[in-house]
A and B are shown apart, each in its own frame.
Chain A
């Protein structure tokens, strides 16, 4: 869908501990497999302790900055709904939001409702898709830890990322430790169906 575009800019938002860095590693590996130049930027340490996390990946013919510029995201992958609101800085009317239907309450704060989040993002872009990834993974695989893998695979199958599903699968096999591989492959296959 976006094969002819020069660079692809992707931002993943969520909270520390949701496995954002693993997703980033998989994407970077898949981009390398497809012969792109690739750069990522991630945060470790303090920000991992359940705080807001935003990681960047850019790939294309020639990539310099590891950070996505303001308003330049092609895709925003949201592992937590409220965190998606913080990604507004990177979005434009063409940006696609692929959002996990999952709310992690912020202490001492009333959660923002799904409707309110949708309404707010719609002010920028109409391309919003909410996927019950946590629910699907819980139901089909008995655990939601692979919700991110499911969502990422889904983005590939739906052509929202210009990386082929087989490259994503190859990258999963390379990055995920052997003992968790089967579960992750199942999540990938679940996204195919």
Chain B
């Protein structure tokens, strides 16, 4: 795949995954700097740049978390380069603190954010958020792609808008777009050599101090007005203005594909307005579209953002218009082609009822599970030997060890976002005398666990934190992290824990069951926070690195 993405066969078609098409789009745009924190369904973007970056003359890094990744790309864009930062939806929450002020300052080169939603939670715990809310919150121009070709084209367009208006631009995908495969037509691309940036001092531009900050907000809103004019003319908002029809559809993203399929299936030829821009919306175009309609159906996944916008516009231009949306389409989970067909059929008074077979067979849910030979099994076994599970609270987090919540393991009493297992553990321990063991992965620890650990020391609570150190970011496909052996001079987790002031600290290979069990029992009795670093490489890391490499990370906390 790497060779395909780097070729210069302009005009030819190649089958690409949505994420691969984004990489190609960035390359065709001449991207110089890419940063990311892995997260499904966006992970492949980073994985590919990790492999081809050097060859393509693109600087690439796996940053410690999404906020840091965005900041890195902002720095490069401040210095005049073309930057791209990729993340899954929750990454946008993590980086939002950095994003909002950067919208005020703007950038010098260009900056594109790729954000992959996971509608239906196919590979996410935590929530089913609709990140379009950030488009409003941050005033970030937002494009929504529906297929791999658009993934490539919209990424390029985002770079153009970003460069033209000196503003970060977001391209949104979802699992069904990012992990959709289809032929994509390539445009011209020549490998360029690595580019050097230059930061030119301009405090008026890059410093958000009051009172200047309010002027900056005004400037941002003016930029958005100009981009709105651009959006009004843009070909990515496309639709036939209905001449005689009294019913039309407004849609965007993956939903558009289901609408097209429904038209085919129901043998209809409806006016459809497909919006490539979510923010700023081409309001005039929408008004023209709805002006003479009697009914309009808004087909969008999750929250009714477009529906609300259209209802407001209808008040101005066509107050009798009936706007349909969420009364026919759920706000929970993904849309599916038959669901969209059914909604359209309902309004058109057409018959559409796929036959439902009720098999009444007991099909057990096949939970994803830890790989056979996974070192986490050893941790589970030692913990189960050490404590009465019913009497201890177990904190969970994001990573392979999320699966501790499934049978037969069931060592998970709460689960939220990255880094939260330790933060919540502290709160529980401050108010309850119950014993508590919380798990946090190595990559999660670097991502957001460290401030929470410091808080347990600073504000004095005594959970037992087990850092599952498998030397990789396993769940998302074995990306390196700051403490992984693939990283030269990897940072030792025990050095950080120790520097945070944790006194009860042991690094144990969980193959030493007796020692692990004994330490769990002993540490649960402590009055101060305690940490066990369960160090044993993921079986896939083991294949890559010999034990010699792993032993490099031995330290004074480890039994010699």
Q: Which of the candidate stretches A47-55, A131-139, A140-148 sits at the interface with the other chain?
A: A47-55
B residues 327-366 touching A (CB-CB < 8 Å) = 336-338, 341, 354-357, 359, 361-366
From residue B17, how far is it (CB to closest CB) to chain A in Å?
8
Task: Determine the residue in chain B with the shortest Cβ distance to A17.
Answer: B371
**Contacts A50-B369, A69-B337, A120-B359 hold; do A45 and B264 have CB atoms under 8 A apart?**
no
Instruction: Give the docked Cα–Cα distance between A24 and B15 (Å).
Output: 11
Instruction: Give the docked Cα–Cα distance between A15 and B367 (Å).
Output: 10
- Contact string, A128-168, partner B, CB cutoff 8 A, digits 1/0? 00000000000000000000000000000000000000000
> Do A109 and B364 have beta carbons less than 8 Å apart?
yes
> Do B180 and A124 have beta carbons less than 8 Å apart?
no
**Contacts A43-B179, A44-B41 hold; do A62 and B264 have CB atoms under 8 A apart?**
yes
Decide if B230 is an interface residue (CB 8 Å cutoff): no
> Do B363 and A43 have beta carbons less than 8 Å apart?
no
- Contact string, B14-52, partner A, CB cutoff 8 A, digits 1/0? 010000000000000000000000001101100000000
- Give the residue among B261, B356, B400, B408 with the most A Cβ atoms within 10 A: B261
Among candidates A50, A66, A112, A123, residue contacting B182 with C-beta atoms closer than 8 Å = A66
> Do A29 and B15 have beta carbons less than 8 Å apart?
yes
> Do B336 and A39 have beta carbons less than 8 Å apart?
no
> Do B367 and A45 have beta carbons less than 8 Å apart?
no
Task: Point out the residues of chain B lying under 8 angstroms from A25, CB to CB.
Answer: 15, 181
Decide if B215 is an interface residue (CB 8 Å cutoff): no
Decide if B162 is an interface residue (CB 8 Å cutoff): no
> Do B475 and A46 have beta carbons less than 8 Å apart?
yes
> Do A44 and B40 have beta carbons less than 8 Å apart?
yes
> Do A82 and B363 have beta carbons less than 8 Å apart?
yes
> Do B408 and A108 have beta carbons less than 8 Å apart?
yes
> Do A47 and B368 have beta carbons less than 8 Å apart?
yes
**Contacts A64-B261, A120-B359 hold; do A70 and B354 have CB atoms under 8 A apart?**
yes
Task: Point out the residues of chain B lying under 8 angstroms from A43, CB to CB.
Answer: 122-123, 175, 179
**Contacts A29-B15, A67-B336, A69-B338 hold; do A45 and B41 have CB atoms under 8 A apart?**
yes
Instruction: Give the docked Cα–Cα distance between A25 and B337 (Å).
Output: 22
> Do B176 and A49 have beta carbons less than 8 Å apart?
no
Decide if A10 is an interface residue (CB 8 Å cutoff): no
From residue B267, how far is it (CB to closest CB) to chain A in Å?
12
Decide if B260 is an interface residue (CB 8 Å cutoff): yes
Instruction: Give the docked Cα–Cα distance between A34 and B357 (Å).
Output: 34
> Do B475 and A65 have beta carbons less than 8 Å apart?
no
Decide if A187 is an interface residue (CB 8 Å cutoff): no
> Do B183 and A38 have beta carbons less than 8 Å apart?
yes
Decide if B492 is an interface residue (CB 8 Å cutoff): no
Among candidates B15, B264, B367, B407, residue contacting A28 with C-beta atoms closer than 8 Å = B15
> Do A66 and B41 have beta carbons less than 8 Å apart?
no
**Contacts A32-B13, A48-B368, A52-B366 hold; do A88 and B357 have CB atoms under 8 A apart?**
yes
- Contact string, A15-48, partner B, CB cutoff 8 A, digits 1/0? 1100000001100110010000111111111111
Instruction: Give the docked Cα–Cα distance between A72 and B341 (Å).
Output: 13
Decide if B252 is an interface residue (CB 8 Å cutoff): no
B contacts with A: majority SS: loop
From residue A157, how far is it (CB to closest CB) to chain B in Å?
23
From residue B333, how far is it (CB to closest CB) to chain A in Å?
13
**Contacts A44-B43, A47-B122, A62-B264 hold; do A32 and B15 have CB atoms under 8 A apart?**
yes
> Do A50 and B338 have beta carbons less than 8 Å apart?
no
Instruction: Give the docked Cα–Cα distance between A52 and B265 (Å).
Output: 29
**Contacts A45-B122, A46-B40, A64-B264 hold; do A91 and B336 have CB atoms under 8 A apart?**
no
Task: Point out the residues of chain A lying under 8 angstroms from B43, CB to CB.
Answer: 44-45
> Do B341 and A120 have beta carbons less than 8 Å apart?
no
From residue B551, how far is it (CB to closest CB) to chain A in Å?
28
> Do B357 and A40 have beta carbons less than 8 Å apart?
no
**Contacts A49-B370, A51-B369 hold; do A70 and B338 have CB atoms under 8 A apart?**
yes
From residue A31, how far is it (CB to closest CB) to chain B in Å?
9
Task: Determine the residue in chain B with the shortest Cβ distance to A80.
Answer: B366
Among candidates A24, A69, A124, residue contacting B336 with C-beta atoms closer than 8 Å = A69
From residue B351, how far is it (CB to closest CB) to chain A in Å?
15
Decide if A2 is an interface residue (CB 8 Å cutoff): no
Task: Determine the residue in chain A with the shortest Cβ distance to B121.
Answer: A46
> Do A50 and B368 have beta carbons less than 8 Å apart?
yes
**Contacts A29-B15, A85-B363 hold; do A107 and B369 have CB atoms under 8 A apart?**
yes
Decide if B403 is an interface residue (CB 8 Å cutoff): yes
Instruction: Give the docked Cα–Cα distance between A29 and B370 (Å).
Output: 32
Task: Point out the residues of chain A lying under 8 angstroms from B122, CB to CB.
Answer: 43, 45-47
Instruction: Give the docked Cα–Cα distance between A39 and B408 (Å).
Output: 37
From residue A176, how far is it (CB to closest CB) to chain B in Å?
13
- Give the residue among A45, A50, A52, A88 with the most B Cβ atoms within 10 A: A45
A residues 2-20 touching B (CB-CB < 8 Å) = 15-16
> Do B264 and A69 have beta carbons less than 8 Å apart?
no
From residue B175, how far is it (CB to closest CB) to chain A in Å?
7
Instruction: Give the docked Cα–Cα distance between A65 and B341 (Å).
Output: 12
Among candidates A32, A41, A49, A72, residue contacting B368 with C-beta atoms closer than 8 Å = A49
Using A40-B182, A65-B258, A70-B354 as known contacts, list a sample of 7 further A-B pairs with CB atoms less than 8 Å apart, ordered by residue number in A. A38-B15, A39-B180, A41-B181, A49-B368, A72-B354, A91-B357, A116-B361
Q: Interface on B for A, CB 8 Å cutoff?
A: 13, 15, 40-41, 43-44, 122-124, 147, 175-176, 179-183, 257-258, 260-261, 264-265, 336-338, 341, 354-357, 359, 361-371, 400, 402-403, 407-408, 475-477
Q: Interface on A for B, CB 8 Å cutoff?
A: 15-16, 24-25, 28-29, 32, 37-52, 62, 64-72, 82-83, 85-86, 88, 91-92, 106-109, 112, 116, 120, 123-124
Top-9 shortest CB links A-B: A45-B40, A51-B368, A45-B123, A49-B368, A64-B260, A40-B181, A65-B261, A46-B123, A70-B338
